[in-house]
Structure 1
Amino acid sequence: MTQFHSRPISSGQTEPHEDLTRRVGRALSHVWRKPISGHTRAAFEQADAWRRTRKGRGLILDSCCGVGLSTRKLAMRFPEYSVIGVDRSADRLSRDHGELPDNALLVRADLMDFWRLALAGGWRPERHYLLYPNPYPKSVQLKMRWHGHPVFPAIVGLGGRLEVRSNWRLYIEEFAIAVAQASGVTAPLGPFDPGDDPLTHFERKYQASGQPLWHLVVQLDYRPGLLPGTELMPGL
């Protein structure tokens, strides 16, 4: 008998949100004026300094890395890369999941600010992972999903091989629609099997609970001007 009993996503929304394309369009055409927090700017500067010391290595960005398990595993799978995991929770990042490989760095920061700083700072990750489910399943919560948020163009603008995973197919469908609108690139989606070595605890518990898992993988061009106002950000 499985030790996991995770509930599947429950939502009254049964198809892509009717307001999705409008929200993406607005994010692509309006300057988002939220100030950058001081603690995230400091965290970004430290991460950028670490990245610069590792010349000649490609960059992997592990966004919403949680406890950092995925960052550790990605660093071991791709030892020729520098892997930076970012999460806003000090509690999650402080949990012990073994020694951090030399080519990995964990950063506590607000990703809404960190992505904008990375885009303005010329970061070009070769791989970018969004493995945290982040569904916010209520219809009124669209603006809280990454693809419905004003920061979404920064995610697309960073470019590279973007991979997004969730246990809610509709979330992945919406993300693919938003990516196509922002970049003109079709993002294929489908089920995936994490195998015997899941990257995250989420994948492990959903798999053990018998829930289907979904992902999209898309190769994006680096487009620093995709987020309006990026060139006006101070200090970079």
Structure 2
Amino acid sequence: MQQARTITTRQTGLHDKLIERVNRYRLSRSRRPIAAHTQRAFEDALAWLGDGAGEIILDSCCGVGESTAKLAERFPAAKVIGLDKSVARLDKHHAYQHEGSNYRVIRADVNDFWRLAHDNALTFNRHYLLYPNPYPKPSQLQKRWYASDVMPSLMAISNTLEVRSNWLLYLQEFEQAAMCYGVKGNIRNLDGSSPMTPFERKYRQSGQQCFALQFENMQ
């Protein structure tokens, strides 16, 4: 079994520029152009959702889509959208696909998709971010979603958000960033009995602890 790498970083506590960075973007909106393929993907997603009746769930950075299929099974009355930027990963989804028709996996840049959802007042009942995305070097703070210009959209498009990672400090920073938006989170240990993604399974098999950060009643 291939061992998963552990997080290595010189950062030992909350980044000293975290709150400054979060507040820099909190009251602004990104002006970066939207990628054409994500604009098309968003329009296709709206067409599939139809009138928007019922619960809608977003699974961002879904990779091969294992988590998307599991969420669709867990919430059979909901419509579930899985997003990933990699065609190669999404092409492997057939290994996890089930017979239900209540979900789609879509190639899109999640940052652009979140901004489009925000601009079009599309909100999700539940949003899952199960890919770790740590960028552990202190110099990479601005690449972490909560310290980037997409955070206002990320906080605006769902009622419930769950973030998972094998790096506790990442989730602690995310929790602190959300407090700048008046949203309080809760971090819990994951027992490893029901991994949602291949990443989570790999970490657990390598003896690493995984954690989940939950936000509720965000809207």
TM range (shorter): over 0.9
The CA deviation string for residues 141-172 of structure 1, in whole angstroms up to 9 with x for no partner, is 01111111110111111131100000000000
Normalized against structure 2, the TM-score is what? 0.95
The CA deviation string for residues 22-78 of structure 1, in whole angstroms up to 9 with x for no partner, is 11111112332101111111110000110116x532001000101111001110111
- Contact 1:65/1:132 (CA < 8 Å) preserved in 2? yes
Report the counterpart of residue 110 of structure 2 in structure 1: 111
Q: Give the distance between the partners of 2:192 and 2:165, measured in 1 at CA.
A: 12
Percent identical pairs in the alignment equals 45
Report the counterpart of residue 41 of structure 1 in structure 2: 39
Q: Give the distance between the partners of 1:29 and 1:119, measured in 2 at CA.
A: 14
Per the alignment, do residues 99 and 186 of structure 1 end up closer, same or farther by CA in structure 2, a change over 3 Å counting?
closer
Matches within 5 A, 1:139-178: 139-178=138-177
- Contact 2:118/2:153 (CA < 8 Å) preserved in 1? yes
Per the alignment, do residues 194 and 78 of structure 1 end up closer, same or farther by CA in structure 2, a change over 3 Å counting?
farther
Q: Give the distance between the partners of 2:217 and 2:151, measured in 1 at CA.
A: 14
Aligned residue for 1:113, secondary structure, equals helix
Report the counterpart of residue 78 of structure 1 in structure 2: 75
Q: Give the distance between the partners of 2:4 and 2:111, measured in 1 at CA.
A: 28
Deviation at residue 111 of structure 1 after TM alignment: 1.0
Deviation at residue 119 of structure 1 after TM alignment: 1.3
Report the counterpart of residue 24 of structure 2 in structure 1: 26
- Contact 1:142/1:148 (CA < 8 Å) preserved in 2? yes
Aligned residue for 1:188, secondary structure, equals strand
Aligned residue for 1:9, secondary structure, equals coil
- Contact 1:41/1:114 (CA < 8 Å) preserved in 2? yes
Report the counterpart of residue 89 of structure 1 in structure 2: 86
Paired residues, number: 217
Q: Give the distance between the partners of 1:214 and 1:5, measured in 2 at CA.
A: 19
Unpaired runs of 5+ residues, structure 2, are none
Aligned residue for 2:105, secondary structure, equals strand
Matches within 5 A, 1:1-236: 3-52=1-50, 55-95=52-92, 96-100=94-98, 101-182=100-181, 184-195=182-193, 197-222=194-219
Q: Give the distance between the partners of 1:41 and 1:156, measured in 2 at CA.
A: 20
1:119 aligned partner, one-letter code: H
Q: Give the distance between the partners of 2:28 and 2:97, measured in 1 at CA.
A: 43
Runs of 4+, deviation exceeding 6 Å: none
Deviation at residue 221 of structure 1 after TM alignment: 2.9
Deviation at residue 4 of structure 1 after TM alignment: 4.1
Q: Give the distance between the partners of 1:68 and 1:218, measured in 2 at CA.
A: 22
Normalized against structure 1, the TM-score is what? 0.88
Unpaired runs of 5+ residues, structure 1, are 223-236
Q: Give the distance between the partners of 2:177 and 2:34, measured in 1 at CA.
A: 24
- Contact 1:162/1:220 (CA < 8 Å) preserved in 2? no
